[in-house]
């Protein structure tokens, strides 16, 4: 499967996402030089459509691999259940055989063979406290106890994949697997492939959001303004981002992707206040302190260097932006800000995001209308639907009239000036902007890192396979030396028994001859 993932990234240079995005930036640069050109605008639209198709194609390829792995998981779960049931049945037959006074060697060998097959699928341990109760454990949980077996089942989970999670059939509790074929497949699907898709979605979401932010404030040659370049698909229709997460028919959570403060800040300006900000993180909430002597840039860097699932930056108007990232926990939604709190006044007052300080003024997604915790004029964006990389497309209004492509901005009088290419310049400059795509800085960093990571993971998987194969061979040889049949030893035993038999036969012959002599020849 890693080979298949590597092939997804080994695209021909002329049709790759990176090359198409390079052409996208270049087309905006061309428009900035010729802001009245219809041909330059048409080139932007055409190249944008090519770029969005290449992004969709990568998502489809990665998602397709995930579907294949998911099919294997379903198949292996059935095999595990089948082997568990067989072991329980053989256990029952062994007890019955011993109760009748028989020696169930064939049944014991059959059970060992099934256990060996099961051990390749999941990480198991066996235990036999007495002859009537042979037990099999999977990662510490009982799978088989004597003649009773437990099974695994597949249950739906609340995420964007449509895949099912593995649970214990009798309790409904989540099942975990630390090894074996099933554990490897689950990790590949839920960690490796998921992280690749998340990375693609994060890049796509940041890319479209930043381009739209500039284009929305720009003006086309036909005087059209306030128009997104890429189509936005919000997770929910209501403007406050309220969503029914538990499916009971009531809106109980708030799905918000981005906050934008109301105040203009300067990077080098000292904040002059102190406090502790609290954000949702990969393993619970994360605290980020700030001090009197910190600059705005220092505080932003501290947020981005933390393990929170929120990234910060100053936008084109020098207003503070807090933007959610993809969730580390598969049970949490991607691109949803889950918790923002400030014990001081950096977020509340200084940057103009939160209305109040402390716990009482915190934003928390686990309730409806959480946006009421924001300052009245603070801007926010509702979270996108699942997998933005599979639906990204150019706005149909722009495709129908390419003159709607914004090249400049309205002046202070609200007029569009001929020859103004400032918006095109700003969009072209996004290419080299630190947009904080996960741990990467720029879009170029993202492309370089994604290819490198896949290559390293493939190399690591191959190395681990060779290492584990060597270890398994050694353990198998050790087991066979103890419990297996050694031909040389068996041949030596046969020869020893044969010599013993011959010696005994000679002894009997001699003894018979002595008796014959005593009885028949001595006249006794």
Q: pLDDT at residue 103 above 80?
A: yes
Q: pLDDT at residue 477 above 80?
A: no
Q: pLDDT at residue 466 above 60?
A: yes
Count the neighbouring beta carbons within 10 Å of the beta carbon of residue 422. 16
Q: What is the three-state SS of 145-166? A: ECCEECCEEEEECCCCCCCEEE
pLDDT at 457: 67
Structure tokens at 405: 């492509």
404-422: per-residue pLDDT in tens? 999 999 988 878 888 899 9
CB 373 within 8 A of CB 361: yes
Q: pLDDT at residue 60 above 80?
A: yes
State mean pLDDT over 17-21: 91
pLDDT at 22: 93
CB 338 within 8 A of CB 325: no
Count the neighbouring beta carbons within 10 Å of the beta carbon of residue 357. 18
260-291: per-residue pLDDT in tens? 999 999 999 999 999 999 999 988 899 999 99
All domains in the chain, ordered by first residue: 1-231+400-435+443-484 (no CATH), 234-383 (2.60.40)
Count the neighbouring beta carbons within 10 Å of the beta carbon of residue 330. 15
Q: pLDDT at residue 486 above 60?
A: no
Q: Which residue has the tokens 């044969």?
A: 498
pLDDT at 436: 65
Structure tokens at 396: 């149909």
More confident call, 414 vs 359: 359
User: Using 50, 70 and 90 to split pLDDT, how confident is the model at 501?
Assistant: confident
Q: pLDDT at residue 383 above 80?
A: yes
pLDDT at 458: 64
Count the neighbouring beta carbons within 10 Å of the beta carbon of residue 102. 12
Distance CA 36, CA 56 (A): 31
pLDDT at 245: 81
296-353: per-residue pLDDT in tens? 999 999 999 999 999 999 998 999 999 998 888 888 888 999 999 999 999 999 999 9
Q: pLDDT at residue 481 above 70?
A: no
Q: pLDDT at residue 507 above 60?
A: yes
Least confident interval from 110-114, 328-332, 428-432: 328-332
pLDDT at 174: 93
Q: Residue 262, exposed/middle/buried by CB under 10 A (0-12, 13-18, 19+)? A: middle
Q: pLDDT at residue 15 above 90?
A: no
* Cα–Cα nearest to 24, from 429, 312, 381: 429
Hey, CA dihedral for 40, 45, 49, 54, is it positive or negative? positive
The backbone region for 51, taken as left when phi is positive above 0, alpha when psi lies in -120 to 50, beta otherwise, is alpha
Q: What is the three-state SS of 17-36? A: HHHHHHHHHHHHHHHHHCCC
Least confident interval from 11-15, 141-145, 225-229: 11-15
State mean pLDDT over 490-494: 75
CB 6 within 8 A of CB 378: no
User: Using 50, 70 and 90 to split pLDDT, how confident is the model at 508?
Assistant: confident
pLDDT at 490: 67
pLDDT at 482: 63
Structure tokens at 206: 């940041």
197-230: per-residue pLDDT in tens? 999 999 999 999 999 999 999 999 999 999 999 9
Q: pLDDT at residue 454 above 80?
A: no
Beta strands 275-281 and 339-342 are: antiparallel
Give the CA dihedral 84, 86, 91, 93, nearest 10 degrees.
Answer: 160
pLDDT at 219: 95
Distance CA 256, CA 324 (A): 8
- Percent of the chain past pLDDT 70, that is, above it, reads 91
512-521: per-residue pLDDT in tens? 888 777 777 7
Q: What average pLDDT is seen over the chain?
A: 88
The residues, any chain, with a CB within 8 Å of residue 358's CB and separated by 6 or more, are 341, 342, 343
Its pTM stands at: 0.81
Which SS3 state, helix, strand or coil, does residue 61 take?
Answer: helix
Q: Which residue has the tokens 């400059």?
A: 429
More confident call, 179 vs 374: 374
Half-sphere exposure of 521 (CA within 13 A, CB side): 6
Distance CA 233, CA 13 (A): 30
CB 27 within 8 A of CB 424: no
State mean pLDDT over 357-361: 95
- Considering only the C-alpha atoms of the chain, give the largest distance between any 2 of them, rounded to a whole number of Å: 150
Query: Measured between alpha carbons, how far is residue 429 from residues 20, 96, 210 in Å?
Result: 16, 79, 11
pLDDT at 483: 59
- Percent of the chain past pLDDT 90, that is, above it, reads 60
Partner residues linked to 225 by β-bridges: 219
Beta strands 256-264 and 253-254 are: unpaired
């Amino acid at each position: 499967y890693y080979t298949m993932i590597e092939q997804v990234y080994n695209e021909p240079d002329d049709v790759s996402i990176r090359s198409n995005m390079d052409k996208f930036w270049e087309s905006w640069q061309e428009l900035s030089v010729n802001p009245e050109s219809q041909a330059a605008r048409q080139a932007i639209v055409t190249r944008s459509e090519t770029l969005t198709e290449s992004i969709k194609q990568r998502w489809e390829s990665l998602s397709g691999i995930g579907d294949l792995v998911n099919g294997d998981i379903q198949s292996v779960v059935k095999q595990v259940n089948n082997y568990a049931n067989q072991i329980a049945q053989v256990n029952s037959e062994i007890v019955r055989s011993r109760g009748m006074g028989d020696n169930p060697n064939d049944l014991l060998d059959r059970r060992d063979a099934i256990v060996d097959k099961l051990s390749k699928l999941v990480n198991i341990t066996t235990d036999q406290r007495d002859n009537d109760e042979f037990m099999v454990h999977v990662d510490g949980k009982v799978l088989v106890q004597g003649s009773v077996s437990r099974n695994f089942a597949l249950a739906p989970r609340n995420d964007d994949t449509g895949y099912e999670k593995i649970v214990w059939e009798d309790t409904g509790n989540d099942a975990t697997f630390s090894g074996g074929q099933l554990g490897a497949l689950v990790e590949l699907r839920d960690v490796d492939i998921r992280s690749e898709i998340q990375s693609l979605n994060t890049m796509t979401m940041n890319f479209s959001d930043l381009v739209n932010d500039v284009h929305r404030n720009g003006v086309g040659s036909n005087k059209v303004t306030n128009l997104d370049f890429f189509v936005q698909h919000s997770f929910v229709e209501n403007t406050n981002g309220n969503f029914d997460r538990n499916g009971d028919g009531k809106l109980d959570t708030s799905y918000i992707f981005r906050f934008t403060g109301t105040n203009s800040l300067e990077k080098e300006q000292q904040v002059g206040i102190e406090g502790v900000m609290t954000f949702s993180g990969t393993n619970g909430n994360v605290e980020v302190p700030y001090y009197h002597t910190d600059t705005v840039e220092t505080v932003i860097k501290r947020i981005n260097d933390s393990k929170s699932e929120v990234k910060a930056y100053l936008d084109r108007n020098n207003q503070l932006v807090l933007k959610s990232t993809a969730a580390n926990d598969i049970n949490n939604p991607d691109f949803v800000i889950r918790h923002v709190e400030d014990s001081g006044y950096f977020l509340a007052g200084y940057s103009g995001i939160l209305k109040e300080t402390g716990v009482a003024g915190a934003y928390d997604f686990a309730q409806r209308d959480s946006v009421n915790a924001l300052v009245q004029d603070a801007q926010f964006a509702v979270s996108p639907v699942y997998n933005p990389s599979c639906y990204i497309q150019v706005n149909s209004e722009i495709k129908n009239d390419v003159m709607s492509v914004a090249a400049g901005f309205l002046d202070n009088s609200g007029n569009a000036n001929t020859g103004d290419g400032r918006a095109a310049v700003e969009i072209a400059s996004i290419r080299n902007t630190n947009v904080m795509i996960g741990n990467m800085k720029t879009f170029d960093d993202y492309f370089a890192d994604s290819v490198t990571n896949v290559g390293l993971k493939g190399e690591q998987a191959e190395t681990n396979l060779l290492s584990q194969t060597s270890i398994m061979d050694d353990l198998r040889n050790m087991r066979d030396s103890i419990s297996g049949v050694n031909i040389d030893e068996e041949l030596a035993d046969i020869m020893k028994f044969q010599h013993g038999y011959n010696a005994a036969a000679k002894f009997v012959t001699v003894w018979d001859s002595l008796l014959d002599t005593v009885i028949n020849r001595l006249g006794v």
